[in-house]
Chains A and B, each alone.
Chain A
Amino acid sequence: MTLASLFIDALRFIPDNAHLLLDKALETAKLAFTALGIALLIALPIGLWLGHKHRGLTLALGVSSVGRALPTITLIGLFIAWLGVGFWNVTAALVVIGIPPILTNAYFAVDGVERDVVEAARGMGLTERQIVTGVELPLGLPLLLAGIRTAAVFVVATATIAGIAGVEAGGLGQIMANPVVYGQSGVLAAAFVIAAMALLTNFALGTAQQAASRRMAPRA
């Protein structure tokens, strides 16, 4: 089979097996966005609070460099070896992967807000909580969204790897790990779909990030 026909077959596989691919893509998306949601719930309050207090710079930097050095496949393997194969175990590994960029960016987003602005808000009688949610969070939103974007793209890509590590309900990764069942064209088609999902995630959050920067940009 020539290279061109292989790729044409892969492109044909997509409409021919739209139902299967959609099911698997939804599985991957469910895995990824459940993990991203939990990562947000954990990382956002910690990052915002540390940034607000201007404390924990070492933690904010350390978390991101450890996060980068950690091979995702090892992490997923450790969680499977420890807890067994299952939706929540893989989700837990993906949460660990999603936390660093969110935490670090939340920290720097709030930490970087001009002190004068925060002082003015304090002078107006805002509570610390109101300062975080009403002043620092909106001003730091572009940077915060950049972190969420990085985390989301990373988690979506890694959710596929979960399928390859042999996880049931592993979504598109399951197709990619089974050329015997789905054929080479199926494997390639799944690769196209996951690439499209990552690009879409990146584009959607990138657009949100740009909209936030435009809103927050000081008017000249």
Chain B
Amino acid sequence: MSGLRLADGGGPVIPNFGHGSACLRHNHWFCPSWVREHWGDILQPALIQHIKLTLVVVGIGLAIAFLLALAGFRWRFLDPPLGAATDVLYTLPSIALFTVLVPITGLEVITIAIPLIAYTLFILYRNIVTGLRSVPAEVLESARGMGLTRRQTFMHVEFPLATPAMMAGVRIATVSTISIATIGAFFINYGLGTPIFDALGVADIFRTELVAAGGLAILLALVADVLLSLLQRVLTPWSRTR
């Protein structure tokens, strides 16, 4: 169950604490030697897990949000309830959702993934629907005039024109997921949250590990944001959105 990480206060968490370099003994903000030494066994595996989790969460979130958005776009009366439902999910604090899911789905990665997926829906759903709706009436009119069917209009007009809004949503969802996923490690040792909580579990807080792992999470979020903005330009060469 939850709370195992900080409540046990077990053995020493910093390897060789009190025996290491002067930097470590004085608990400085950033000891490069520790980062070099533990890149391979702590930081890199956590980073890779974090990337995997984010890819799965945003991928599944996008698939679900897309289907919901199609429904909300096609049948307008579904839009308000779908929007409200995703808003409620987004409002629930992650810590509460993780806590409630632990007894149901167990101490597995899926327990972190489900709330994270739920959070992406709010941003992605709203952005996709807004994107699809933003196609000007005269564009749809000319598509109809050219003899395009409803399906062709969607595939060749509405969907491509909604891509920038969708990609903007994917960027926000990805960055938020990377950030919120760190909290999941309070329950399940997975991703960059693990070294962060390990650092917090030490009396006086192990600063180097906190800064290194937290910094990696921020860096990952920024890199993902830049990569997605490049992808957005490739996908929609006709638009120059930020």
Q: CB-CB contacts of A153-165 with B at 8 A, as 1s and 0s?
A: 1001110110011
Q: A69-B178, A74-B217, A198-B93 are in contact. Are A188 and B205 (CB under 8 A)?
A: no
B103→A191 contact, CB < 8 A = no
B197 within 8 A of A: yes
Q: Measured between alpha carbons, how far is A156 from B176 in the docked complex, in Å? A: 17
Q: Which residues of chain B come closer than 8 Å to A173, judged between CB atoms?
A: 95
Most buried by B among A3, A81, A161: A81
B147 to chain A, nearest CB (A): 36
A70 within 8 A of B: yes
Q: Which residues of chain B come closer than 8 Å to A217, judged between CB atoms?
A: none
Q: Measured between alpha carbons, how far is A157 from B93 in the docked complex, in Å? A: 5
B93→A68 contact, CB < 8 A = no
A184→B1 contact, CB < 8 A = yes
B214→A78 contact, CB < 8 A = yes
Q: Measured between alpha carbons, how far is A77 from B205 in the docked complex, in Å? A: 8
Q: Measured between alpha carbons, how far is A187 from B222 in the docked complex, in Å? A: 34
- Total residues of chain A contacting the partner, CB 8 A: 43
B198 to chain A, nearest CB (A): 11
Q: Which residues of chain A come closer than 8 Å to B103, judged between CB atoms?
A: 3, 6-7, 184, 188
From A69, which residue of chain B is reached at the shortest CB distance? B221
A166 to chain B, nearest CB (A): 6
Q: Measured between alpha carbons, how far is A80 from B27 in the docked complex, in Å? A: 14
B96→A80 contact, CB < 8 A = no
Q: Measured between alpha carbons, how far is A198 from B104 in the docked complex, in Å? A: 22
A73 within 8 A of B: yes
B223 to chain A, nearest CB (A): 10
Q: Which residues of chain B come closer than 8 Å to A191, judged between CB atoms?
A: 95-97, 99-100
Most buried by B among A68, A73, A166: A73
B99→A71 contact, CB < 8 A = no
Most buried by A among B91, B214, B221: B91
A68→B91 contact, CB < 8 A = no
Q: CB-CB contacts of A166-178 with B at 8 A, as 1s and 0s?
A: 1000000100111
B204→A81 contact, CB < 8 A = yes
B225 to chain A, nearest CB (A): 7
Q: A71-B182, A160-B96, A176-B3 are in contact. Are A77 and B176 (CB under 8 A)?
A: no
* Total A-B residue contacts, Cβ distance less than 8 Å: 135
Could you say which of A164, A180, A192, A198 contacts B186, with CB atoms under 8 Å apart?
Answer: A164
From B101, which residue of chain A is reached at the shortest CB distance? A191
From A158, which residue of chain B is reached at the shortest CB distance? B93
- Total residues of chain B contacting the partner, CB 8 A: 46
B177 to chain A, nearest CB (A): 10
A73→B193 contact, CB < 8 A = yes
A74→B182 contact, CB < 8 A = yes
From B172, which residue of chain A is reached at the shortest CB distance? A68
Q: CB-CB contacts of A1-44 with B at 8 A, as 1s and 0s?
A: 00100110000000000000000000000000000000000000
B6 within 8 A of A: yes
Q: CB-CB contacts of B180-222 with A at 8 A, as 1s and 0s?
A: 1011001000001100110110001101001101100110011
A180→B3 contact, CB < 8 A = yes
Q: A177-B7, A199-B92 are in contact. Are A69 and B100 (CB under 8 A)?
A: no
B130 within 8 A of A: no
Q: Measured between alpha carbons, how far is A72 from B179 in the docked complex, in Å? A: 8
Q: A3-B104, A157-B95 are in contact. Are A81 and B182 (CB under 8 A)?
A: no
B182→A78 contact, CB < 8 A = no
B233 to chain A, nearest CB (A): 17
Q: A69-B225, A78-B214 are in contact. Are A177 and B94 (CB under 8 A)?
A: no
Beyond known contacts A68-B179, A72-B179, A176-B3: 11 more, CB 8 A cutoff: A7-B103, A68-B175, A69-B175, A71-B193, A72-B183, A74-B182, A74-B214, A156-B93, A157-B95, A161-B183, A178-B7
* Residues of chain A at the chain B interface (Cβ within 8 Å): 3, 6-7, 61, 65, 68-75, 77-78, 80-81, 153, 156-158, 160-161, 164-166, 173, 176-180, 184, 187-188, 190-192, 194-195, 198-199, 202
Q: List 18 A-B contacts (CB under 8 A).
A: A3-B103, A6-B103, A65-B175, A68-B179, A69-B175, A69-B225, A71-B182, A74-B182, A74-B213, A77-B200, A173-B95, A177-B6, A180-B3, A180-B7, A187-B3, A188-B99, A194-B93, A198-B91
